[in-house]
């Protein structure tokens, strides 16, 4: 591990030297690439330097235990009580920082929420999940934008696709993909019986044009008039856009903007991300062994969580984690849940990496 850390620090210093070269201003692409790499190494280098500092302080205090007088030995003993646990914690942080990084972790996401089984109740819960993620994003300082939305006739949402932009959004929300199950008594239920409904969530890393190359000749673009619930026209011009990627059969439609150009831009963002997701899923299946440490598969058909309203309970089935603050969760307070998922993943990944302390 420490040979790897030395190499990381050496690369970090090399990049710092290159970034100080005035001639780099003439090569903006290289400057951006080096700046991004420098930022990605900064956290691990800072922790490695903290680790070395702690090691040196512990070594000095142990020498005082042997060579110092009674007063210095007593002070050294007290110092070691603090320094040794700090060194252990630093070692664990370094192990986590050296784990192979998901290349998508730094990306923005497209979050797709769709009503599943359960009719009106599923649509209502889809709307509540949308609100949950919106509130959580606001607290993180992330920017959200609705890319596409389909309202249900009696309230709630059939489907909503939202862009979430910010620091490490995919890293924080990637484990939300799957089937979310809700158990509660619908307002329309006269007998007070608990109904079960489902909503599916997909988390797609935003695909930029450099991530995936789409040949314009492979696209069929149709325009039509926007329509609302029940099919009524809500726009007198052909501003809605449907894009079909012919090789894959992926179809995306956007009609929420009045401008055809804006609808096309949103549709292309969604299309790129869906094609990137399909390619990454194909690659993941070919390298299934490397995904054993993942929490769940991220498959849209996998039931990951149950929201039980009569008992105020949330349970994540992948890690056996239960919370009894469902009201707070629905207001977007999901940090405790997301932390538990991330900790579990890291522990599994550390075992895969062969760290004995894991």
Summarize pLDDT for 148-180 with one digit per residue, the tens.
Answer: 888 988 789 999 999 999 988 999 999 999 999
DSSP 164-207: EESTTHHHHHGGG-EEEEEEE--TT-TT---EEEEEEEEEEEPP
Residue 205, domain CATH: 3.30.70.1660
Q: Is residue 182 part of a domain?
A: yes
- Give me the pLDDT at residue 67, please: 78
Q: Is residue 193 part of a domain?
A: yes
| Overall average pLDDT of the 90-100 stretch | 84
| Overall average pLDDT of the 42-68 stretch | 90
Residue 73, domain CATH: 1.20.58
Q: Is residue 72 part of a domain?
A: yes
Q: Chain-wide mean pLDDT for the chain?
A: 84
pLDDT band for position 347 (cuts 50, 70, 90): confident
- Give me the pLDDT at residue 287, please: 47
- Give me the pLDDT at residue 187, please: 75
The structural domain count of the chain equals 2
- Give me the pLDDT at residue 321, please: 94
Q: Is residue 358 part of a domain?
A: no
Please indicate whether residue 188 or residue 153 has the higher confidence score (pLDDT).
153
pLDDT band for position 210 (cuts 50, 70, 90): low
Q: Are 172 and 282 members of one domain? A: yes
Q: Are 55 and 193 members of one domain? A: no
- Give me the pLDDT at residue 286, please: 53
Q: Are 144 and 123 members of one domain? A: yes
Q: Are 62 and 178 members of one domain? A: no
Q: Are 167 and 300 members of one domain? A: yes
The single-letter DSSP state of residue 145 is E
Q: What percent of the chain has pLDDT over 70?
A: 87
Q: Are 179 and 66 members of one domain? A: no
Q: Are 323 and 179 members of one domain? A: yes
Q: Are 257 and 153 members of one domain? A: yes
- Give me the pLDDT at residue 47, please: 93
- Give me the pLDDT at residue 169, please: 92
Domain boundary among 64, 97, 130: 97
Q: Which of 133-137, 196-200, 344-348 has the lowest mean pLDDT?
A: 344-348
- Give me the pLDDT at residue 335, please: 95
Q: Are 156 and 185 members of one domain? A: yes
Taking a C-beta distance cutoff of 8 angstroms, is the pair 249, 218 a contact?
Answer: no
Copy the structure tokens of residue 193: 């019986």
Pairing verdict, β 303-308 and 250-254: unpaired
Whether pLDDT at 235 is above 80: no
Q: Kindly report the pTM of this predicted structure.
A: 0.69
Q: Are 66 and 165 members of one domain? A: no
What domain range is 62 assigned to? Answer: 2-97
Domain boundary among 43, 76, 97: 97
Give CA–CA dist 48/55, Å, rounded. 11
DSSP 86-129: HHHHHHHHHHHHTSPPPTTTTS-EEEEEEE-TTHHHHHHHHHHH
- Give me the pLDDT at residue 228, please: 56
Q: Are 182 and 139 members of one domain? A: yes
Please indicate whether residue 227 or residue 199 has the higher confidence score (pLDDT).
199
| Overall average pLDDT of the 105-125 stretch | 90
Q: Is residue 353 part of a domain?
A: no
Domain boundary among 76, 97, 118: 97
DSSP 241-263: EEEEETTTTEEEEE-SSS-HHHH
Q: Is residue 104 part of a domain?
A: no
Q: Are 40 and 163 members of one domain? A: no
Copy the structure tokens of residue 245: 């990627």
Q: Is residue 70 part of a domain?
A: yes
Q: Is residue 354 part of a domain?
A: no
The phi and psi torsions of 5 (rounded to 5 degrees) equal -65, -40
């Amino acid at each position: 591990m420490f040979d790897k850390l030395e190499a990381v620090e050496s690369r970090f210093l090399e990049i710092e030297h290159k970034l100080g070269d005035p001639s780099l201003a003439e090569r903006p692409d290289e400057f951006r690439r080096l700046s991004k790499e420098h930022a990605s190494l900064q956290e691990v280098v800072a922790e490695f330097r903290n680790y070395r500092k702690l090691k040196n302080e512990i070594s000095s205090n142990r020498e005082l235990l042997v060579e110092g007088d009674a007063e210095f030995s007593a002070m050294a003993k007290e110092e070691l009580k603090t320094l040794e646990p700090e060194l252990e914690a630093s070692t664990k942080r370094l192990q986590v920082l050296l784990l192979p990084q998901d290349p998508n972790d730094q990306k923005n996401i497209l979050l797709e929420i769709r009503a599943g089984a359960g009719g009106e109740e599923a649509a209502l819960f889809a709307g509540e999940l949308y609100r949950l993620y919106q509130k959580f994003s606001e607290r993180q300082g992330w920017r959200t934008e609705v890319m596409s939305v389909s309202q249900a006739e009696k309230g709630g949402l059939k489907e909503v696709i939202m862009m979430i932009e910010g620091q490490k959004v995919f890293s924080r929300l990637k484990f939300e993909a799957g089937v979310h199950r809700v158990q509660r008594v619908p307002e329309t239920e006269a007998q007070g019986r608990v109904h079960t409904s489902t909503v599916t969530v997909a988390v797609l890393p935003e695909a930029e044009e450099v991530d995936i190359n789409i040949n314009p000749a492979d696209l069929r673009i149709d325009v039509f008039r926007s329509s609302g619930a029940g099919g009524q026209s809500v726009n007198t011009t052909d501003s809605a856009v449907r894009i079909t990627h012919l090789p894959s059969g992926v179809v995306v439609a956007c009609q929420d903007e009045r401008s055809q150009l804006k609808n096309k831009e949103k549709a292309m963002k969604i299309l790129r991300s869906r094609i990137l997701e399909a390619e990454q899923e194909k690659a993941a299946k070919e390298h299934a062994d490397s995904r054993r440490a993942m929490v769940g598969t991220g498959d849209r058909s996998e039931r990951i969580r149950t929201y039980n309203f009569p008992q105020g309970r949330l349970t994540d089935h992948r890690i056996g984690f239960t919370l009894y603050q469902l009201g707070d969760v629905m207001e977007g307070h999901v940090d405790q849940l997301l932390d538990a998922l991330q900790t579990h993943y890291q522990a599994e990944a550390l075992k895969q990496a062969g760290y004995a302390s894991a």
